[in-house]
Amino acid sequence: SASIPPEAQQWADGMLVAALALSAGLYAPTAVRVGGVRPSFARSASPKLQELSPYEEWMRKRGLDVGVAAVATPPAVSTPVTPAVPAMPDLPDTTDLTGTVVPSGVKPPRRVVQKPPMREMILESSDLLSHQAIMENFVHHNPWEALQNKEFAAALDEVDVKSAYISPAERLSTVVPLDPRVRANKAVAELGASFLDRGLAKWEPPNRERGFLYFFASLEGLGGVPWRHSARLAAKRIIDKMDSRPDRDPAEIALRFIEEDLRELESDFSLWTQTTRAMLMDQPGWAGMFKRMEEHMSERPQKCLDGMCVPLPVSLIEFVAVHSILTTSSIKALAMKEGWKPESTALHTYLSRVSTKRRGERPLFGMGNDVQSLQNPSGLAHKNQNFDRFEELEAEYEKVTIRALNSAPSLAFKPVSKVRANLQFFTCFDEREESFRRYIEALADDPTDIETFGVAGFFNMAIRYKSDDMRPVEILAPEGNLPLERNKMTVRQRTRGYLERKKLLAELTLAYERASFSPIGSTVISGAMLPISAGRLLLKSVSPAATVALEDAFSSAVLPVSDTDFLPPFNTEEFASRLAQLFKNVGTTREEDFARLVTLTGHGARSVNNPYLAAYNCGACCGREGGPNARVTARAANDAPVRALLRSQHGVNIPDDTWFVGGYHDTTSDLVELYDLDRVPPTHERDLARARAILERARGQNALERCSKFFLADHVKTPEQALDHVRLRARDVAEPRPELGRATNAAVIVGRRGLTLGRFLDRRASLPSYDPFLDDDRGTNLETVLTPALLSGSAVSLEYLFSTVGGGAGTVAPMNVVGNFALQRGTSGDLLTGLSTQLTELHSPQRAMYVVDAPVARVEAVLGRNKKLEDIVRNKWVKFFVRDPKTQQIYREDRGRYLPVDTMDDTITPLPDHVPFTEHEQYCKKVKKQEDAFTVAALGLITVSALLPLFPDGIQNLDLAMLPAVLDAIDPIQAVVTTSAALLGASSVAFSRRYLHGEFMYGRMQMFSAGMVLGFNLVAVAPTLEQVALGWTLIGYCSTFLIGGFNDRPTARDNAAYAFLIYQLSDAALLTAIAFSAENDAAVANPELAAAGLLVASALKSSQFPVSGLFLRSMEGASPNSALGYAALSAHIPVVLLAQTMPMWFEFEWARAALAAVGIATAVQATLIANVRADRKGSIASSTAATVGAIFVVLAAGYDEAALLLALGHSCFRMNQIFRSPSAIQDSRAWQADLGSEATGPERVLKAAWKAGWAFNRINSDFFRLPDQFYAVDLKRPLNFYNAKGTQLAVTALFVGAVSAFHLPQVDAKIAELMQTEPALAAGLLTANILGSTALIRFLFGNVLDFGRFRADRPKN
C-alpha cells in the first residue's frame, strides 16, 4: 500500500523472507547442553557451523546501521542459514495490545497470541528451579523430579532446550563489556539473605512481615548508585501503592511490575514464559529457595514475640518482581551507556539484535571452557567421574551384579519350618549398612545363628519428635509425610540438673559469640582470651585428637550423664498395625522367625563443621537421626498388649522369650548406642552381652573397610586404629569428609537376604528385606517396601549422578553459610544446589539398578496403583529388573515389557561380586603423595621465614661462629612476632592438609599461604622501609591469587582484581613514605608526608575506612586461606608496621588523631555492617575490620606492645571463627535447643540503626568496587591458542612478571627519586602502573586461567 512508509515495508519484507526460510527448514540450530546433563544416546548430532559470535554479529549490525564496513564474515559453508532479518526501523512508538512497537500511521496486524495469565506464566517458568530444602532439612532428591513423567533422555533434552533460551541480560552481556546480571544478582542476593534469614544475622531486619517486595522498596532509597535509578523509581511507586492500600495483595502489585518489565524486554507475548524462565535461571538458587519456602511454610523465617513464632510471608512472585526490577534497571543503565536512546528505540528492539538462542555450551561450575566431556572438578575424581562413561559404568555394574545374584541359592520356596536364630539385627536398608550387616553375619557360629534385615530407617513409625529441650518439634518420617499432632514422641529428661547446666553453657557461648561482633567486646576477647584462643587454634589444626580429648574431659566434668524416657506416640492398636506391616514385609510372622534377642538400630551421622549434616542422616527420617524411631519400635514390640493384638488380629506371633532392643548406629563414627538397657530382663543378659560384643567387633571391621577410601588414613591397619580414626573424623573441624555419605550407591536389591548373603557388594547396594512368599498377588507388602525404596533410592542415585558429572555445589572449601538456610560461594553469590564434590568425587555416576524378588504380575500390580512409581520405572529414571522367586529368571523392564536376561557367563571364573576400585584408588594415592610434597614445601618455607631474625645481614652472610652474638642481639618483640606468624601459618597449613585435601589447587593454596607468612615476616624483620616494601608487596600478590583462585565466578575475578587495586594503592602510599623518610635521604626528607604515606598504606591494607569492605570482598577463597589472610596476617601486618615505625609518625598530633579517627570510623561503620549481614563469612570479615580499627585506636594512644598483643589474640580467635564458619547452622540449632528460638534469634534494634548498617553496606557494594572500565578487558571469545596447562602457566608467569617488574628494588628507588625531583611524572607513572597492572591481573583471571587445565592429566577412555 502507498500509505505504508518504505522503512516499514522493508521490515515487513525481511520478516516474510525469514519466516519462509524457517518454514522451509533452512535453519538448523546447534544442539546445546545447558543447565543439565544427558547421556550420549540422547545427544543430537549438530553441524559444525562456522558462524559469527554474538559480539561479531552485533558489531556487523551496528556497522550496517551507521554505514561503516561490516565485520568480516566467515567463509561460506554448505549448510544453508537463515537470511538476515532487517532491524525494525526506529520510528515513533505506537504500541498495540501485544506490546509490539510499530510505525506510526500503520495499523499493525493483530497477533493471535494473547498476553498469558501472569500467575500461571510465572509458575510454568519456574519449572526448572531446584526444590532443594533448607540445609537443616536437606534430603536427597532428583533435581529434575518434576520431569519424571517424561522419559529420562527426553526430559534432559527438554531441560537443554528450555535452558538454551538466553535472558535479556545475558544477551546484552555478549556484546558489551559489563555483564548486567553480575551487579543485579549481587543486589538480589544481599536482599534475599537478609529477608530469608533464619537467625544468622545479629540484628533483625525491619518490614519483613510485609513481604519481599515491600522489604526491597523500603531499602532501595538507601543507596544512590546510578545504575539503580530505575529501581529506585519503581521502589517509590511500590511504597506508595502498598502504603495507600495496606490490605492489597502484594502479589497483585508484583505482577504489575513484572508485566511492565516484560513489555520493555520482550514484545512477543508468546516468549514471556521463556524470557521469565531464562531470567530465573540467571539466579536459580535464590529463585528456587523462594519457591521452596513458599511451598513449605515450616522452612520460612519466623518472627518471634512473647513466645509465639509466626512464619513470614515468602512469595516467588515477589522475588520475580524484585529480580526483574533490578535486572531491568541494570540493563537500561548499561544499554544507555552503550548508545541506546530510549526516546527513539524500544528496549526490546535494541536487544533484539542479539540472538535469543545460546550458541555452544554454557560453562558449568568448575568445568572451564571445555564442557563437552563433563568431569567432576575434584582433584580426587578420576575417569569414572566423567560423564562420557555414564552408560559404560551402568552396563559394567549390571553385568557383575546380575551374575552374582544368579549364582545365589535358588530360594524357590519358603520352608515349612526353620531353625530359630539366636540373634537378629534390623538396620536401615541404606547401602552404608550393607558392610555393617556383612560383618555382623560373619561373626555367626553357624548359618542359622544370626540373621539381619534391612528396612526403611523410620521402621514404619512416622512420628513427630519432641526432644527434651527447647528444640521445635521435628518430623521423623519420609519427606511429604505429616504425622498427626497426637503421634508425637515426647522425650523427658530424668537426670536432675542436666538441662540447666546445658542452658548455662549455651548462655556463655552465645554471649561470647555476640561479644565478638562488638569492637569493644572483640578487643577484650582478643586480649583476655589470647592463651585459650591460641591453644584452641593450634590444637584443632595440629592435634585434633588432643582437642577431642579435652572437650570430652570438660563435658564429662560439667555435664552429668543424660537419662531419658518418652511418651509413646501411638496407642496399642496403631502400634500393632504398624509392627505387623513391618514384620510381614521382612517375613517374620511365626514364632521360629523371631530370635531371642532382636536389635533394631536406626542410623544417623554426627559430625561438626558440616553444613551437609542432614544429607548424611536418614533420608526416611527427613534428614534426622533414626534412633528415636528404633527406640519406639522396640518399646512397642516388647509391650504385652501389643503382642496380643499382633497375634490375634495380624497373625504375627512373637514368642514370649523374645526381647527387642532399640539403638542407633552412627555411619560416621561407627558408634553404636543401645537404648533402655535397664529394661532388659535378667534372662536376656547373656544374649545382650553377646550382641554387644558382636556389634563392637563388626563396627571395628566396618570402620577398617571404610578407611580404605580415606586417603589420609593410610596409617590405619587394625580395627582399633580404624575406630579411632573415624571417631576423630566425626569431631575434627578440619575434616570436610567425615564420611563419604551415599557415594558409590549403585543398586537396590529388594528381596530376601539369601540372595546376597556372603557377597561382597562393596557398600554399593541397598538391601530392603522382602519375603515374596508372605505376600498376596496385589503386592500389599511389596508396595510398602518398594515405595520408600524406589522413591528414596532413585532420588539418591539421581542427585549423585547429576552432582557428580555437573559439579553440583562445588567444593566446600570456599562455601559460606547464608541465613542459616543455604550455602553460597563468596559473600553475595547464588545459592548452591546439589551435592559438594567431597560427597561425589568417588561416586560412579549411574542410575540406580533395581532388582525386585517378586513375580512380574505382582510388581506390575504395585506399579499400576502408584503413578509416581510407574513413571520412575517406565521412563527409565532407574534400571529396573525383576527376579521371579520360583523360576529364578531375571527380567529387564522395558516400557512395560519384561525381557529375559541371560545371566550366565561361564568364561569368567570366579564370578566377581563387585566392580573393583583399584585404578581409582591408585590415582588418589598418587594425588595424596603430591599433596604431601606441597605440604612439606610450605612448612619448610614457613620455618625459614621464622628464622629471618637470625639473618639481619642476609643468609649469604651467615657465620655460625657469630650465632651466639646474633641470638643476643635479636629484638625479643621481633622474634615473638615472626614466631607467632609462623605458628599461625603452620596452623593454617596443618588445617588445610585435611580441609583442602583433594582440591585441584591444593599446591597453589599451600604455597601462597606460605608466601604470605614469608611476606609478613619480611616486613616484621625489615630494618628499613625499603626492605619492608618487598614483604608488603608479596602479601598483596599472594592474597590476590588466593582470593581469585575460584575464578570461574565473576565476583571472584572482580574482587581479586579490586583487592589487587587496593594493594597497589597501598604500595604506592608506602613508596611515598620511603621517598620522603629521613632514612632514605635526609636532605629531601618530609617527615609529615612520610607519616601520611605510612598511615594511608596501613589503612588501605587493613580494610579501614573508607575501604572497610576490602575484607568482605576477600572472602572468595578457601576458608583456611581466608582465615590466614583476612583474619590474621594481611589484616594485622599494618599494626606491625605502625608499631615498628612509631618514631616516624607518633610525634605528629594530626597523625595520631587521623589514625584514631580512621579506627573509630571503621569500628562504627564495619560493626553496623557486620550486625546486619546474614552471611557468616561476610559478617566475620566486617567484624574483623571493626576490631582492627579498635586496635588502631590503641596504637594511636601510644600502646604499641599492647596493640601487638591484641593483634595476635585477634588473629587467633578470628581464625577459629572462620575455620568453624560452616558450623553456623549446627551452632544455631544447638543454642535454639538449649535457650529457645526467641532468646537466640536476632536482636530487635531501632530501624534507624539497622538501616544505617544497610546503607553503609550499600556504599561498599555500590561505590567501593572494581571500576566498570576494567571489565573491558574480558574477551567475547575465549582464548584457544594454548593447551590446558603449559601455556596457561607460561602466560600467567609472563603477566605476573610484567606486573611485578614495577616493584623491583631498582624501580622503586627510581620512582622514589622521581617523587622528590619530578612529582608529577612520578604520580603519572604510579597511576599508569596501578591501572595497567590491575587491568592485566583482571585479564589474567577473566581470560587466561581456565579451570579445565586442572583436568588435563586425567586418564582418558
pLDDT tens sequence across 705-749: 999 999 999 999 999 999 999 999 999 999 999 999 999 999 999
CA distance 94 to 82: 29
Tell me the pLDDT band of 517, cut-offs 50, 70 and 90. very high
Confidence band of 1072 (pLDDT split at 50, 70, 90): very high
Residues 1305-1325 have a mean pLDDT of 93
Calpha distance 1230→1225 (Å, rounded): 9
Q: Which three cell numbers stand for residue 305?
A: 514475640
Report pLDDT for 908.
52
State the Cα–Cα distance between residues 1217 and 1204, nearest whole angstrom. Answer: 20
Spatial distance between the Cα atoms of 1164 and 404, rounded to a whole number of angstroms:
69
Percentage of the residues of the chain whose pLDDT score is greater than 70: 87
**pLDDT score at 763:** 96
- Residue 1205 grid coordinates: 598483643
Question: What is the tens place of the pLDDT at every residue in 483-492?
Answer: 999 999 999 9
Q: What pLDDT does residue 59 have? A: 52
How far does Cα 1060 stand from its chain's mean position?
Answer: 26
- The answer, yes or no, to whether residue 27 has pLDDT greater than 80, is no
Q: Are strands 488-493 and 474-476 parallel, antiparallel or unpaired?
A: unpaired
Torsion of CA 287, 291, 297, 300, to 10 degrees: 0
Whether pLDDT at 28 is above 70: no
pLDDT tier for residue 969 given thresholds of 50, 70 and 90: confident
Are 466 and 632 contacting, i.e. CB atoms less than 8 angstroms apart? no
User: Quick one: which of 1245, 938, 1278, 1258 has its CA closest to 1121?
Assistant: 938
Task: Kindly report the number of other CB atoms within 10 A of residue 1157's CB atom.
Answer: 14
pLDDT higher than threshold 60 for residue 21: no
Average pLDDT over the chain, rounded to an integer: 88
Check pLDDT > 50 for residue 626. yes
pLDDT tens across 1126-1153, in order? Answer: 999 999 999 999 999 999 999 999 999 9
CA distance 1242 to 206: 11
Express each pLDDT in 1319-1356 by its tens digit.
999 999 999 999 999 999 999 998 888 765 555 344 44
Of the candidate ranges 88-102, 955-969, 1337-1351, the one whose mean pLDDT is the lowest = 88-102
Query: What pLDDT score does 388 carry?
Result: 79
**Residue 89 reports pLDDT greater than 70:** no
For residue 1043, how far is the Cα from the chain centroid? 17
> Which pLDDT does position 695 carry in this prediction?
98
- pLDDT at position 377: 81
Q: Tell whether the model's pLDDT for residue 1284 goes beyond 70.
A: no
pLDDT at 3 exceeding the cut of 60 = no
pLDDT at 43: 38
Q: How confident is the model at residue 1049 (pLDDT cuts 50, 70, 90)?
A: confident
CA distance 647 to 548: 49
Q: Determine the 3-state secondary structure of 491 from DSSP.
A: strand
Nearest CA to 767 among 791, 746, 739? 746
Band of pLDDT at residue 1271, cut at 50, 70 and 90: confident
Higher pLDDT, 1275 or 399: 399
In this structure, of 39-43, 606-610, 995-999, the range with the lowest mean pLDDT score is: 39-43
The pLDDT value given to residue 1223: 96
The pLDDT assigned to 964 comes to 76
pLDDT tens track for 809-854: 999 999 999 999 999 999 988 999 999 999 999 999 999 999 999 9
Residue-level pLDDT at 955? 55
Q: Which of these, 343, 817, 899, lies nearest to 611 by C-alpha position?
A: 817
- Answer for the pair 1192, 1156: CB distance below 8 angstroms, yes or no: yes
Q: Is residue 4 over pLDDT 80? A: no
What's the pLDDT band for 577 if we cut at 50, 70, 90?
very high
Task: Residue 331: name the closest of 227, 254, 419 by CA.
Answer: 227
For residue 149, name the pLDDT band (cuts at 50, 70, 90). Answer: very high
Instruction: List 424's β-bridge partners, or say none.
Output: 451, 598
Residue 69 has pLDDT above 90, yes or no: no
pLDDT, residue 107, reads 44
Average pLDDT rounded to a whole number, residues 1037-1058: 94
Pairwise CA distance, residues 958 & 956, whole Å:
6
pLDDT of residue 1290: 85
Binned at pLDDT 50, 70 and 90, residue 24 comes out as very low
Q: Which helix (H) or strand (E) holds 69?
A: none
pLDDT of 775 strictly over 50? yes
The burial of 609, by beta-carbon neighbours within 10 Å (0-12 exposed, 13-18 middle, 19 or more buried), is given as: buried
Please give the pLDDT value at position 99.
Answer: 38
Reported as a pLDDT band with limits 50, 70 and 90, residue 77 is very low
Crossing angle of helices 1130-1140 and 1087-1101, in 10° steps, is 160
Eight-state DSSP code of residue 1128: I
Model confidence pLDDT, tens digit, residues 1238-1259: 899 999 999 999 999 999 999 9
pLDDT at 31: 30
> Average pLDDT in the 50-69 region?
46
> What are 1352's three cell numbers?
588435563
Confidence of residue 1082 (pLDDT cuts 50, 70, 90): low
* Whether residue 956 has pLDDT greater than 70: no
All three cell numbers of 823, joined, read 550455602
- The DSSP code sequence of 270-305 is GGHHHHHHHHHHTSHHHHHHHHHHHH-GGGS-EEEE
pLDDT of residue 17: 38
Q: Which residues contact 954 (CB under 8 A, 6 or more apart)?
A: none
Closest CA to 657 of 598, 600, 601: 598
The pLDDT-based confidence of 479 (bands split at 50, 70, 90) is confident
The residue length of the chain stands at 1357
Instruction: State the DSSP string of 953-1008.
Output: T-GGG--GGGHHHHHHHS-HHHHHHHHHHHHHHHHHHHHHHHHTTT-TTHHHHHHH
pLDDT in tens, 225-255: 999 999 999 999 999 999 999 999 999 999 9
Q: Kindly report, residue by residue over 657-693, the tens digit of the pLDDT.
A: 999 999 999 999 999 999 999 999 999 999 999 999 9
Q: Which of 38-52, 463-477, 847-861 has the lowest mean pLDDT?
A: 38-52
pLDDT band for position 373 (50/70/90)?
very low
Predicted confidence band at 175 (pLDDT cuts at 50, 70, 90)? Answer: confident
